[in-house]
Amino acid sequence: MNVKQIVKQAVKQAIEWLKNGTEEYASDAAFEAAEWAWNKLGMPYGRIDRWPKVPDPKVLVKIAKILSALEEWIPDDEGLWAGLHPYAALGSMAFFAIENAIIDELYKRGYED
């Protein structure tokens, strides 16, 4: 699992969606591309609020790889995870790190909302 490579592919996907009109705003394209990357990374759980209290340990390894690869994009807003159980909070951090990395690259390339 090469997290950064999949994020690069997700950026290309987001740009394609912006160019062909599937998505109008960079933030929307980044969210959809983050979901696309999440699936490509083999994450078996979707919505964070529906995660099991104790996910498969293999999922936790994937989360650790995502957080390690995308450390600079991990949000520092603890309020995002209020009310989530600890494993879901880690999953949320990983998802937002992916989305933040994608939106950062889109903005650098001139795509904005």
Which helix (H) or strand (E) covers residue 20, if one does? helix 3-20
pTM: 0.88
Distance, CA of 97 to CA of 67 (rounded, Å): 7
Query: Do the beta carbons of residue 79 and residue 93 sit within 8 Å?
Result: no
Give the lowest-confidence range in 65-74, 82-91, 92-101: 82-91
Model pLDDT for residues 18-70, shown as the tens digit of each residue: 999 899 999 999 999 999 999 899 887 776 767 777 778 888 898 899 999 99
Q: What is the CA radius of gyration of the chain?
A: 14
The packing angle between helices 57-69 and 3-20, to 10°, is 70
Compute CA 71 distance to the chain's CA centroid, rounded to the nearest angstrom. 12
